[in-house]
Structure 1
Amino acid sequence: MIAYLEHFVHDNNDSIEQESSQISMDLEGTIDYRSTGYAAKDFGGLHSSSPLAVVKPSGHHDIVSVIKFASQSPNLTVAARGNGHSINGQSMSRNGIVIDMKSFSSNSSEPLIVMCNGDDGYAVDVNGGALWEDVLIQCVTKGLSPRSWTDYLGLTVGGTLSNAGVSGQTFRYGPQTSNVTELEVVTGNGDTVICSDGQNSDLFFSVLGGLGQFGIITRARVIVQPAPDMVRWIRVVYSEFSEFTQDAEWLITREEGESFDYVEGFVFVNSDDPVNGWPSVVLDPDQFYDPTRSESPVLYCLEVALHYSKGNCSSTVDSKVEKLLGQLGFMDDTLFQVDLTYVDFLLRVKQAEIQAKANGIWDAPHPWLNLFVSKSSIEDFDRSFFKKILKDGIGGPMLVYPILRTKWDERTSVVLPEGDIFYIVALLRFTNPYQKSTCVRDLVLQNHDILQVCVRNGFDFKLYLPHYNNEDGWKQHFGDRWSWFVEMKSRYDPMAILAPGQKIFERQRS
């Protein structure tokens, strides 16, 4: 199909003037100029930016065509949109072209995953537009599973690899960016490049965690391992933050086989609030909780899981769990546990998504804030925020759990705080569209205030899924990595065509 698109240029007042000339792009997929509304918004619901068109590619060749097409125009930009789960408009392209990567996965003639021999054992080649939940299902049918996940699997492979991809397995295997050995990337120059640690390594490491700035991931070689059958899912509660962090850090620093397979944690309100309190901790409605156990306004839940096969004797699983739990200092009578399949455990957030969509909360704004906070600053963070301004809850999870720096490849574009251990802090706010609640604008301002307090008090932290509105913010974020980041941009996307929603670089006129 030959698609035609008018040139557009902006005058000094940012209005749009149409030029008379046209350029064409040869597509095997489709281009839509009308039904583009979904690409003008994202999960955050905080921004809206309408594209000129949405392309649904049939293969990486269509992505090449779109980028080369944009490079011939004076000001067109291109954004790759996975499942639109960004918070601050990162997947948008105002008056530009959005590439629907989910369509890339579904329209492609290639299978979703292809088994291959990896340097580290088993691996699969995965379509960049595939959802991780679909990758899970197809891998498990072969008795295999990727090693590192995100909590929510309704995200595309290319999307999470462009950020980091973290969850409760990160302490063991590192983020998802540490679990790929090869990428196929379409750069901002319109070149299709195969890259890895040993081949075109500059592109490989810049794209991983690169916020979409250097290329669009069309294929990833993901490390996999034998999949377990079952999971023992456990939550225990602490009244003291120091005891919670001590036990969490002890678990993540133990050798494989001597700890749990998954370690996370969260803060909750010491009340019977169904969203922010004790009901968010229990794993089975028949399990009992007592909100009067502590006078502290907030408590801390350590969440762990142990993988096992159906052939394991139940007493063996019980024995290992009891041995590990016996060395932890959680509050008496606050042990909650269930057994479920490995797939059901990994898709646990899917059930919350179904419920949130049913009551309208999924489509309401989500002013989330995600941070990496150094171990040296995490207790100060708790005192300043969890115990004070956030002590009544945020209408969603407040995650906090430690990760080992040694599991991250620091050659990627992801920047981290100092120290051998740092914490993920995720304030995952959900707003209720049917109830009078705090204005979304006020919640965004509160996030801003949290960051300002962190800066003023010298907390060692970095934004995860970062968002800044000016170059000074990005320079501070990347620190001494900024010059390298700029160099990679000039090499692989010199016209700044890609990922304009990140607001890092301005589009250069052709």
Structure 2
Amino acid sequence: MHCLLRQHSVVFLELFLVLVLGGIAMHVSDPDVPSSLDALRLEGNLSFHDVSLAAKDFGNRFRFLPSAILHPVSVSDIAAIIKHVFQMGPSSKLTVAARGHGHSLQGQAQADGGVVIHMESLRGGGTRVHAGERPYVDASGGELWINVLLECLKHGLAPKSWTDYLHLTIGGTLSNAGISGQAFRHGPQISNVHQLEIVTGKGELLTCSTEENAALFHAALGGLGQFGVITRARIALEPAPEMVKWIRVLYSDFSSFTEDQEKLISARETFDYIEGFVIINRTGLLNNWRSSFNPQDPVQASRFDSDGRILFCLEMTKNFNRDEADVMHQRVEALLSRLRYIPSTLFQSEVTYLEFLDRVHVSEVKLRSKGLWEVPHPWLNLLIPRTRIKDFAEEVFGKILTDSNNGPILLYPLHRSKWDNRTSAVIPDEEVFYLVAFLSSALSSSDHDNLERALKQNDKILDFCNKAGIQMKQYLPHYTTQEEWKAHFGDRWELFAHRKGIYDPLSILAPGQRIFRKVVRSSRR
């Protein structure tokens, strides 16, 4: 997201999507849908006219118009609409998709000709913090994580695990996994949930946990919206620190970089957040990796030149309260003394806990003010086994990619043992694996060449993994055929499909994931 973008043309982009990208086109809403839904008694409302916003997401590449948007006032509205579509049976083409803050990348929250549920309408449902020996927060599935954080901080508490960007809905991230630099310690967000409230594909409203409706609970976590709409979640909390020591250092040697990362995530005494990213710039001029950070030695830092090398940035934080600052500094110094980074590249800052967690939003505000946020984002997120990360880096960073100026490239390790293997999330079968995220952006909405270049690079990366036998998994996966999805889930596919048959037997939910297709049968005999 820290990339240089130019002014865009939304009109030109829409024309490009229709004419150039083949099957990615705007579809016409079904004129029969309003009459089939008008009889429903809802507290909220159904909109049949202004549906274009629900046909757009952060990826800005897919655009499928729904026939209606539901703006629910209560969970009963969601249950009513899904139950109605279910009772219409297989003769109806209608499907239903839950849309949070619209940050899907490839139309996953869209419903071509169907009904999109605007989950943020439920944000008034109330966020309730329960302090005590095992604190937790109850929040609506349509609530943004930033708002949950703000409410929890009033009680000196906060969720344990995060995503890098907080302006996402709870239901959205829990349907995937929710990962950031805290996941090495606490696991993803789906490993920190006590209870869910879900509306299934039959319109049933169920409460579930590890003790109650456990199969649905585990299916929905990381389940890509296939088993139900998450309308409420109970999330584990911990005491929130006041401040964060925020550090970035550079490496020129990949092995030292990854070995230090793995050492840090396995140590008992370590940092509270650990991420890394790759800087590829053949010109020798560094991008804005240090931003407002202060260098340990300003003179040496000013003389540092990458010499056109590929560099690797290790980013870490240490949480502390203001009265613990001296002890924190000693611990940080001890931890840094064990690392093999380039000494002149030690940059650090101290910010509040809220400022650190909401750091990406600062960049968003700047880009939006310039009209440079709503551009295509051809992102690719991979989970790479530790034993193949060096092979992956040599080929991808050394040969396939020419630079990283069109967006960050994240690379950091995670522990498999911190993930609950009963959930639907799929990860590599090694104890340590790496998230490698290529967060590319087109330079503008009309930048067709750059978009195509990024998509071709993604294809080359995936093709290399396939040919090299790297048993990677996609995070935020996107496939177009069920055979590809079967390969993604591997030996877990049968359980996934079995659960789908139980909780959404007509394949009504989340059609934009393209995992299951609703089979429409004629009502004629």
Identity %: 45
* Distance in 1 (alpha carbons) for counterparts of 2:32 and 2:336: 69
* TM-score, normalised with respect to structure 2: 0.89
The answer on 1:131 being equivalent to 2:155 is: no
The residue that corresponds to 2:107 in the other structure is 89
* Distance in 2 (alpha carbons) for counterparts of 1:181 and 1:17: 40
Question: Aligned with 2:178: secondary structure?
Answer: coil
- 1:411–1:291 CA distance, 2 compared to 1 (3 A): farther
Tell whether the 8 Å contact from 2:129 to 2:152 is kept in structure 1 after alignment: no
Bigger relative contact order (CA 8 A; separation at least 6):
2
The residue that corresponds to 2:416 in the other structure is 405
* Distance in 2 (alpha carbons) for counterparts of 1:163 and 1:16: 28
Letter in 2 for 1:265: G
* Distance in 2 (alpha carbons) for counterparts of 1:149 and 1:179: 10
1:30 aligned residue (29, 45, 68): 45
2:399 aligned residue (363, 370, 388): 388
The residue that corresponds to 1:100 in the other structure is 118
Deviation string, structure 1 residues 337-362 (Cα, Å, up to 9, x no partner)? 00000000000001011112123331
The CA deviation at 1:452 is: 1.1
The residue that corresponds to 1:309 in the other structure is 321
Tell whether the 8 Å contact from 1:385 to 1:391 is kept in structure 2 after alignment: no
1:148 aligned residue (152, 161, 179): 161
1:324 aligned residue (335, 357, 372): 335
Tell whether the 8 Å contact from 2:93 to 2:520 is kept in structure 1 after alignment: yes
Question: Aligned with 1:193: secondary structure?
Answer: strand
The CA deviation at 1:445 is: 2.5
The CA deviation at 1:209 is: 0.2
The CA deviation at 1:25 is: 1.6
Instruction: Give the alignment of 1:29-428 within 5 angstroms.
Output: 29-73=44-88, 74-106=92-124, 108=125, 111-115=126-130, 121-255=134-268, 258-270=269-281, 277-284=286-293, 289=301, 293-295=305-307, 297-312=309-324, 314-428=325-439
Aligned residues: 487
Letter in 2 for 1:483: E
* Distance in 1 (alpha carbons) for counterparts of 2:372 and 2:343: 35
* Distance in 1 (alpha carbons) for counterparts of 2:427 and 2:50: 39
The residue that corresponds to 1:509 in the other structure is 520
- 1:90–1:16 CA distance, 2 compared to 1 (3 A): closer
* Distance in 1 (alpha carbons) for counterparts of 2:130 and 2:98: 26
* TM-score, normalised with respect to structure 1: 0.91
Deviation string, structure 1 residues 114-168 (Cα, Å, up to 9, x no partner)? 4266xx8111111110000000101001100000000000100000000000000
* Distance in 1 (alpha carbons) for counterparts of 2:98 and 2:418: 28
- 1:19–1:86 CA distance, 2 compared to 1 (3 A): closer
Tell whether the 8 Å contact from 2:375 to 2:444 is kept in structure 1 after alignment: yes
The residue that corresponds to 2:458 in the other structure is 447
Letter in 2 for 1:22: S
- 1:407–1:505 CA distance, 2 compared to 1 (3 A): same
Unaligned runs of 5+ in 2: 1-26
- 1:390–1:324 CA distance, 2 compared to 1 (3 A): same
- 1:285–1:279 CA distance, 2 compared to 1 (3 A): farther
Name the structure with the higher helix share. 2
- 1:269–1:67 CA distance, 2 compared to 1 (3 A): same
Letter in 2 for 1:495: L
Deviation string, structure 1 residues 370-392 (Cα, Å, up to 9, x no partner)? 01111011111111111222241
The CA deviation at 1:493 is: 0.2
Deviation string, structure 1 residues 434-456 (Cα, Å, up to 9, x no partner)? 89673313322221221111100
